[in-house]
Amino acid sequence: MRGVSTLTQFGQKHVTKGLGRLTEAVVTKGEGSYVQLDDGRRMLDFTTGIGVTSLGHCHPKVSKAAADQCMNLVHGQCSIAFHEPYLRLIEKLLPIMPDPSLDSFFFWNSGSEAVEGAIKMARWYTGRQNIITMQGGYHGRTFGAMAVTRSKTIYSEGCHPLMPGVFPVAYPYWHQHGLPPNTSEDELSERSLYQLDLLLSQQVNPKDVAAILIEPVIGEGGYVPAPKSYLEGLRTVCDKHGILLIIDEVQSGFLRTGKYFAIEYSGVRPDIMIVAKGIANGFPLSGIISRKEITDKLSPGSMGGTYAGNAVACAAGVAVADAMKEDKIQENVAARSKELFDSLAELRKDAEIGSKILDVRGRGLMVAVEFASPTGTPHDPLVDPSAPQNLAKRVAKRCLEKNLFILTTSVYEVIRFIPPLNISKEDLAKGCKIFAEAVKEVVREG
Ligand SMILES: Cc1ncc(COP(=O)(O)O)c(C=O)c1O
């Protein structure tokens, strides 16, 4: 057991207890796929700061663009004037939009703020108040975003009543329907759309619904991609009733799933798309993107924010867009994704381990392993009394001891893989080896 530094002790005393942490160490440097800790350890980072540093820590082109911008204009307040990085970033993003109708941009700082803005826009445009959100969805911790977040009760514990007019509906994740992991996507899609029908006939009239909000790969709810047929079904419902479809790509965007945006796997057109995280590789930047016909209805002054679309963050975003192309990131994601899935398939073949892995899923480098669990909610039909306790948390802890940062997600026993999108073949293999060793050790301990 390593000693705790005086800086850590200072942090433990003065940083709010409301924050959880993977480690108590202090990060002193980030470089590519690694971070350095003040206790001397060099950690392979499969968390990318929760899906943010997709091009690795301190990508030279991105850091240089930000440093150069710092010497030119740091704060170009968006309600005072246009600034160049803001407009250049839009220029870079327009050609990669999942639908050409998405041509009107507003940049903010965090994903939560963008979610708030999207809700506000949907209410304003439709003149309706209610929002349908997904059971298991995560959209942030500010007040409106917290109200549409349904992945864990901790995010709103002690804060009720939440913003009214939010209706959660089952997501096409087998666990939510009490079905086994091998249930077909079509069945999950049909059951979930049926739940939506019931919601719209028993709880809220569709003419009172402003928007349906969904992550195309549910993140904090378990890293579950939404089937194409489900997203198509949502689009049909929205079109029929004049409801806006808001796609939250905060975690799944910017090549994380192998395409620029995960919604592209379905071909479905978002009315509003929310982006953040990978857009600027660590600089605080988010965006609400919609079509001009919608945003032209907004009154000037209704949107804004002191730091919204900061010039340094936008310059970093421009460099990210260039680096993604120049560094052939999409090709790397495809190759590394295959290797990751192959490695997890190999682990599943292990006689001792296989039965403890319920599911391996995801797209690109947004991948999850779900373990069996001996506990669950009182009526969870998928509880396996023979499974070891808390597998995911224990595996993440064991990985940490082996110098790999990796995160759990959801209320189930799920480990998520979010490595850098430009990770080398060798580093990916190294992380997979550590993970496999950790799983084997923890399962053997029982
Ligand atoms: C899908 C999704 N939406 C919104 C958010 C909130 O973003 P932020 O933490 O930047 O407020 C997150 C954060 O993890 C997210 O994953």
Whether the CB-CB separation of 228 and 207 falls below 8 Å is answered with no
Q: For 58, left (φ over 0), alpha (ψ -120 to 50), or beta?
A: left
Q: Is there a domain that residue 161 lies in? A: yes
Kindly tell me if the per-residue pLDDT of 1 is higher than 60.
no
Q: Do 320 and 332 lie in a common domain?
A: no
Rounded CA-CA distance 37/50 in Å is: 18
Strand ranges across the sheet with 366-371: 357-363, 366-371, 414-417, 407-409
Cα-Cα-Cα-Cα torsion 301, 306, 311, 313, nearest 10 degrees, comes to -110
> Counting Cβ atoms within 10 Å, is residue 396 exposed (0-12), middle (13-18) or buried (19+)?
buried
For 288, phi and psi rounded to 5 degrees? -115, 120
Q: Look at residue 90 and tell me if it is in a domain.
A: yes
Which residues, in sequence order, are bridge partners of residue 369?
360, 415
Cβ atoms 106, 187 nearer than 8 A: no
Q: Are residues 426 and 359 in the same domain?
A: yes
**What ligand 1 atom has the least distance to the C-alpha of 141?**
11
Residue 378: inside a domain: yes
Residues 80 and 50 in one domain: no
Ligand 1 mean position to 414 CA, how many Å? 18
Q: The tokens of 230 are what?
A: 């489900």
Around Cβ 244, how many Cβ atoms within 10 Å?
23
What is the Å distance from ligand 1's center to 4 Cα?
A: 31
pLDDT in tens, 365-406: 999 999 999 998 889 999 999 999 999 999 999 999 999 999
Q: Using the atom order of ligand 1, give the atom closest to the CA of residue 113.
A: 11
Whether 404 and 342 map to the same domain: the answer is: yes
Q: Which atom of ligand 1 is nearest to the CA of 277?
A: 10
Judge if 431 and 311 occupy the same domain: no
Residue 437 CB-half CA count within 13 A: 14
Q: Which amino acid is at 245?
A: L
Q: Which two tokens stand for residue 153?
A: 């009760």
347 and 272 co-located in one domain: no
376 and 320 fall within a common domain: no
- Please check whether residue 36 lies inside any domain of the structure: yes
What pLDDT, on a 0 to 100 scale, did the predictor assign at position 19?
95
Q: Quick one: what percent of the chain has pLDDT higher than 70?
A: 99
* pLDDT single digits (tens) 176-231: 999 999 999 999 999 999 999 999 999 999 999 999 999 999 999 999 999 999 99
> How far is it, in rounded angstroms, from Cα 244 to Cα 118?
10
Distance, in Å, from the CA atom of 180 to the CA atom of 183, rounded to the nearest integer, reads 6
Instruction: Say what the pLDDT of residue 368 is.
Output: 98
Q: Determine the structural domain holding residue 253 and report its residue range.
A: 62-326
Of all helices (H) and strands (E), which one includes residue 322?
helix 311-326
**Band (2; pLDDT cuts 50, 70, 90):** low
pLDDT for 352-362, tens place per residue?
899 999 999 99
- In the reported structure, the alpha carbon of residue 31 is separated from the centroid of ligand 1 by a whole-number distance in angstroms of 24
Summarised one tens digit per residue, pLDDT across range 69-103 is 999 999 999 999 999 999 999 999 999 999 999 99
State the DSSP code for 32: B
> Do both 351 and 250 map to the same domain?
no
Domain finish residue from 284, 299, 326: 326
Ligand 1, residues 48, 116, 257, 277: which to mutate, most atoms within 8 A of Cβ?
A: 277
Together in a domain, 94 and 48 = no
pLDDT tens, residue by residue, 10-19: 999 999 999 9
User: Which secondary structure element, helix H or strand E, spans residue 362, and what is its range?
Assistant: strand 357-363
Best residue for ligand 1 mutational test, from 138, 257, 263, 410 (most atoms within 8 Å of Cβ) = 138
pLDDT digits (tens, 9 = 90+) for 103-128: 999 999 999 999 999 999 999 999 99
CA of 170 to the centre of ligand 1 (A): 20
Of 278, 302, 326, which closes a domain?
326
Assigned domain for 415 exists: yes
Residue that is last in its domain, among 294, 326, 358: 326
Q: What own/partner pairs with CB < 8 Å and gap ≥ 24 does 196-205 have? A: 196/132, 196/169, 196/233, 196/234, 196/237, 199/132, 199/167, 199/169, 200/237, 200/241, 203/167, 204/130, 204/132, 204/167
Measured from the Cβ of residue 195, the count of other Cβ atoms closer than 10 Å reads 18
The whole-model pTM stands at 0.98
Q: Are residues 194 and 265 in the same domain?
A: yes
Q: Which atom of ligand 1 is nearest to the CA of 110?
A: 10
Q: Show the ligand 1 pocket: residues with CB < 6 angstroms.
A: 50, 110-112, 115, 138-140, 215, 219, 248, 250-251, 276
How many domains in the chain? 2
Mutating to test ligand 1, I would choose from 52, 113, 131, 139 the residue with most ligand atoms within 8 A of its C-beta, which is 139
Instruction: Choose among 81, 98, 79, 102: nearest CA to 90.
Output: 102
Asked if residue 321 and residue 284 are part of one domain, the reply reads: yes
Q: How many CB atoms lie within 10 A of CB 429?
A: 15
Q: What mean pLDDT, rounded, does the chain reach?
A: 97
Residue 245 domain-assigned (yes or no): yes
Q: Which two tokens stand for residue 105?
A: 């941009």
User: At 46, which CATH number?
Assistant: 3.90.1150.10
Same domain flag for 49 and 187: no
Domain-embedded: residue 1: no
Q: What CA–CA distances, in Å, run from 291 to 33, 106, 198, 213, 345?
A: 36, 11, 30, 17, 42
Instruction: For residue 250, report the distance from its CA to the centre of ligand 1, in Å.
Output: 6
129-148 pLDDT, tens digit each: 999 999 999 999 999 999 99
Is 242:127 a contact under the CB 8 Å cutoff?
Answer: no
Q: Which atom of ligand 1 is nearest to the CA of 220?
A: 16
* Residues in CB range of 14: below 8 A, 6 or more apart: none
Residue 4: predicted pLDDT: 82
Residues 285-326 pLDDT 10s? 999 999 999 999 999 999 999 999 999 999 999 999 999 999
Domain CATH number, residue 207: 3.40.640.10
pLDDT at 59 over 70: yes
**Interval 29-58 mean pLDDT:** 97
Contact 319, 305 (CB under 8 A): no
In a domain, 211, yes or no: yes
* Residue located nearest, by CA, to atom 3 of ligand 1: 139
Task: Return the bridge partners of 169, or none.
Answer: 134
Which DSSP state fits 157?
T
